[in-house]
Amino acid sequence: MTDKREAVKKLFTAKSSRVETNKGDVYYQRLYAQCKKRIEALKTLEPFGNKLELQDLLSEEGVDRRDFMKWVSATTAMLMLPSFFEPLVAEAAEVMNRVPVIWIELQDCAGNSEAFIRSDGPKVDEIILEIISLEFQETLMAAAGHQAEAQLHDAVETFKGKYLLFVEGSIPTAMNGFYGTIGPSGETFEEHLTRLSKDAAAIVAVGSCATFGGVPAAAPNPTGAKGVMDIVKGKPIINIPACPANPANMVGVILHYVLTGQIPELDSLLRPKFAFGYRIHDNCERRAHFDAGEFVEEWGDEGAKNNFCLYKMGCKGPMTFNNCSIVRYNEGVNWPIGVGRGCIGCSEPDFWDKYAYERPMADANIKAPTGGVEKTVDEFGLGVLTATAVGIGIHAAASALAGKKSDEGEK
């Protein structure tokens, strides 16, 4: 009997998209000990290529200890760790340059690289991304051509099985992949990715393009663009979608890896739950206006001036999972909804085709699921109704003309 009850309990508490913020003391004590050991081990290693020390860099950029500790506690909370992990997180941030990172760029706009290097005063996240041992990053490095090839080759050889491979951009597959080739050898993006992922410890797909194909994969997808998880098999993959991916989440994933030696807990779309476990809508500052039925009806109207909900302007917050409503962008300065623009669901699969239209579903031109003609769901529905009404009308008129009696009678 108890066995049965246990079995039922297990079935109904199966791994779902549930976000568990408290896993119990025993779990955290064990995790703490494990992290401690790992960091001690990392400390004994020489930093790889990048010899910069975090503390020096921080003070050079005018970030004092207090700012850093603030960042530490925010990041600890973001990773859903109890506050007694804070000293460990601080230590982990200092040894982040012991984990080598290779960053490749495929079919994309470099927006994710831009996201973490563009800001007027660098914030802790960005400084940390500077200190990680970035062994290879085409956009940021000085080397080019054969020289860059050689550098990549070196990095892969030296850090075989140890490096994190960050991938930005989608992978074109149409025309044998010749929409995107790289380097003097003319290797296609797909070959490039497959080759580099072979020796990676884990692959982190950054941004909407690398995760789910993003804008390049939008209909009609001429280049046959795909996300990393459709190409690479048999390796741990972490997806950090969004357009661009939030630097806080990139740092979070690296930090989690440095701290625990493992990838964070993922949801069914391989997104880390600490970042993508929550719906924008549930943490949105305009939510009270949503419940009140107060909507912006037009750009710049009274509602817009009063920060009403953007649902009728096409906000897709109710269907989008991301932590921008909590972490925000640019070190918490603001985020799309904060500036008065609805969410376009950039962290969801197929976001460009299925989320980015600028009106609520009932008001937008959505591609009919049958493909082909663009029409809204409601226009189609009205069509169904009209057809039914016409059918009924014809039948009713004919019945009235034909009279009431059945002439065959019943048998």
Tell which positions 334-353 bind ligand SF4, by CB under 6 A.
335-337, 342-347
Does the protein bind ligand SF4 through residue 320 (CB under 6 A)? yes
One-letter identity of residue 30: R
In angstroms, the CA 7 to CA 124 distance is 47
One-letter identity of residue 192: H
Question: Cβ of residue 315: shortest distance to ligand SF4, in angstroms?
Answer: 3
Q: Which two tokens stand for residue 274?
A: 């600490």
Quickly list DSSP for 65-89.
HHHHHHHHHHHHHHTT--GGGHHHH
Does the protein bind ligand SF4 through residue 98 (CB under 6 A)? no
Q: Which two tokens stand for residue 94?
A: 């200092």
Residues numbered 252-281 forming contacts with ligand SF4, rule: CB under 6 A = 280-281
Of other proteins, ligand SF4, none, which one does residue 293 interact with (CB within 5 to 8 Å by kind)? other proteins
Among 322, 352, 357, 366, binds ligand SF4 (CB under 6 A): 322
The site string for ligand SF4 over 50-79 (x = CB under 6 A, - otherwise) reads: ------------------------------
Of other proteins, ligand SF4, none, which one does residue 343 interact with (CB within 5 to 8 Å by kind)? ligand SF4
CB atoms within 10 A of CB 260: 18
* Total binding residues toward ligand SF4, as defined by CB under 6 A: 25
Q: Tell me which residue of 92, 86, 168 sits closest to 128, measured CA to CA.
A: 92
In angstroms, the CA 323 to CA 335 distance is 10
For ligand SF4, give the closer residue by CB, 257 or 352.
352
Helix-helix angle 247-260:65-78, to 10 degrees? 80
Does the protein bind ligand SF4 through residue 318 (CB under 6 A)? yes
Among 72, 88, 225, 315, binds ligand SF4 (CB under 6 A): 315
Q: Which residues of 144-175 are buried (b: 16+ CB within 10 A; e: fewer)?
A: eeeebbebbeebbeebeeebbbbbbbbbbbee
Does the protein bind ligand SF4 through residue 240 (CB under 6 A)? no
Residues numbered 124-163 forming contacts with ligand SF4, rule: CB under 6 A = none
Question: Cβ of residue 391: shortest distance to other proteins, in angstroms?
Answer: 8
> Which residue matches tokens 């950090």?
240
Does the protein bind ligand SF4 through residue 284 (CB under 6 A)? yes
Contact assessment for residue 115 and residue 108, using Cβ atoms and an 8 Å cutoff: no
Strand-pairing partners, residue 188, are 181
Q: How far is CA 8 from CA 12, 13, 17, in A?
A: 6, 9, 19
Of ligand SF4, other proteins, none, which one does residue 395 interact with (CB within 5 to 8 Å by kind)? other proteins
In angstroms, the CA 274 to CA 252 distance is 9
For other proteins, give the closer residue by CB, 152 or 309.
309
Q: Tell me which residue of 51, 26, 166 sits closest to 106, measured CA to CA.
A: 166
In angstroms, the CA 205 to CA 212 distance is 9
Question: Cβ of residue 285: shortest distance to other proteins, in angstroms?
Answer: 12
Among 23, 198, 235, 287, binds ligand SF4 (CB under 6 A): 287
Does the protein bind ligand SF4 through residue 239 (CB under 6 A)? no
For ligand SF4, give the closer residue by CB, 107 or 322.
322
Contacting positions for ligand SF4 (CB under 6 A) = 242, 280-281, 284, 286-287, 290, 309-311, 315, 317-318, 320, 322, 324, 335-337, 342-347
